[in-house]
């Protein structure tokens, strides 16, 4: 039997823009705006060489009201 596991959610801060970046369980990166219901207003985020992401502890996900 093969068991497939999805990745966990990862939260980052982009040090250049000072914005929240989230990697969802499917591995897609999202930019979250600084507003209520940020996940509903997320935008795709493309990693580049200019990105300076700092990992944030996962327990901060409640602040962002993430659906997972």
Q: Give the separation between CA 41 and CA 57, rounded to whole angstroms.
A: 22
Digit-coded pLDDT (tens) for 17-47:
899 999 999 999 999 998 888 999 999 999 9
Does the pTM surpass 0.75? The reply is: yes
- Length reported for the chain: 68
Q: Per DSSP, which regions of 1-68 are E strands?
A: 10-14, 19-23, 29-32, 43-44, 53-56
């Amino acid at each position: 039997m093969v068991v497939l596991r999805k990745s966990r959610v990862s939260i980052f801060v982009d040090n250049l823009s000072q914005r929240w970046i989230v990697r969802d369980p499917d591995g897609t990166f999202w930019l979250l705006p600084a507003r209520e219901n940020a996940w509903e207003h997320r935008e795709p985020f493309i990693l580049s060489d200019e990105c300076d992401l700092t990992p944030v502890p996962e327990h901060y996900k409640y602040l962002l009201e993430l659906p997972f």
